[in-house]
Structure 1
């Protein structure tokens, strides 16, 4: 077809100075724009905060991020051990905002009490306070160890394949448990602690 452009264009060899390559495009075509082409939109200059974070990330040792995550987990465990959420008053500080305003237990309330019992090796009591948290704890620990080992030391542990449907189902069960445990009718009152 006369005037056609692209692979398979008839008579392109006479129009293109270098001839046609084996794939039908002009010879020497690498997928890039020709010299002097203005290109797309200009890249925006990054702001000071973005440059700071980028430089900090480039200078930070690989093991620093997992160490910071371990520090956050240790702070949460320390808070749980010091505050003893199983015996604290509902208005004790720091308090759960949902419980303070509505009187309802959120998943964090039961999860904090469950963590306290897990740290004291009382798994039945921990499961009574928040079964899904106790169920998820070994998986979360494995995910963290696999991620931290890869980040800090380059270890490649076997990956657990968790798809979006499984995550969505677990989050739906978590939400349903959070609502059902606050219902004031039997048999749901058995879930309230």
Structure 2
């Protein structure tokens, strides 16, 4: 076995892992900042532009407070603020883990995240969630 080739593969593997490790570091930094700077106190973060303009909740409304609750190990409060964000976290973790494993193995990145049908289904879920959380019978979905 050629030692130079083995070293080059290790370097290529490390380069391939920089992107998923960077995403993990950025995610960790966001969780740390939101854990320390409480979004429940006014003035720390800007208001949601959609909420400000329309008075209606967007699909992301409550996500900062959800992250804050999760960072403080309060999943019940997190579910009450934005259940869709909490439900998406295992999927995001799975996709990140798959990306990390492929990078570690030196396999090329896939050019598609998921089958288009799954992406359209997710978009449909987000749209229905957006509408329902602003209707009287969906008030339990509002942050």
Q: TM-score, normalised by structure 1?
A: 0.55
Give the 3 Å change call, closer, same or farther, for CA 75–108 of structure 1 in structure 2: farther
CA distances 1:6-54 after superposition (whole Å, capped 9, x unpaired): xxxxxxxxxxxxxxxxxxxxxxxxxxxxxxxxxxxxxxxxxxxxxxxxx
| SS of equivalent to 1:106 | coil
Partners of 1:102 and 1:79 lie apart in 2 by 28
Alignment counterpart, residue 154 of structure 1, candidates 94, 98, 105: 105
Figure out how many residues of one structure are paired with residues of the other and give that number: 126
For 1:76, the equivalent position in structure 2 comes to 30
Paired residue secondary structure (2:15):
coil
Q: Please say if 1:106 is aligned against 2:58.
A: yes
SS in 2 for 1:109: coil
Q: Which of the pair is proportionally richer in helix?
A: 2
Whether the 8 Å CA contact 2:65–2:81 is kept in 1: the answer is yes
Provide the rounded CA distance (Å) in 1 between the counterparts of 2:54 and 2:141. 18
Query: 1:177–1:127: structure 2 CA closer, same or farther, 3 Å change rule?
Result: same
Kindly state the Cα deviation for residue 162 of structure 1 after the two structures are TM-superposed. Answer: 4.7
Matching residue within 1, 19, 28 for 1:65? 19
Corresponding residue SS for 2:62 = helix
Give the Cα separation in 2 of the matches to 1:110 and 1:134.
11
**Structure 1 residue 99, shift from structure 2 partner:** 2.5
Q: Is the 8 A contact 2:58 2:130 kept in 1?
A: yes
TM-score after normalising by structure 2: 0.71
Gaps of 5+ in 2: 1-11, 108-112
**Shift of the alpha carbon at 1:140?**
0.9
The gaps in structure 1 that reach 5 residues or longer are 1-57
Q: Do the aligned partners of residues 62 and 111 (structure 1) sit closer, same or farther apart at CA in structure 2, a change above 3 Å counting?
A: same
Equivalent residue for 2:138? 188
Alignment partner of 2:76 out of 106, 111, 124: 124
Q: CA deviation at 1:124?
A: 2.1
Greater CA radius of gyration, 1 or 2? 1
Q: Which runs of 4+ in 1 moved over 6 A?
A: none
Q: CA deviation at 1:143?
A: 1.0
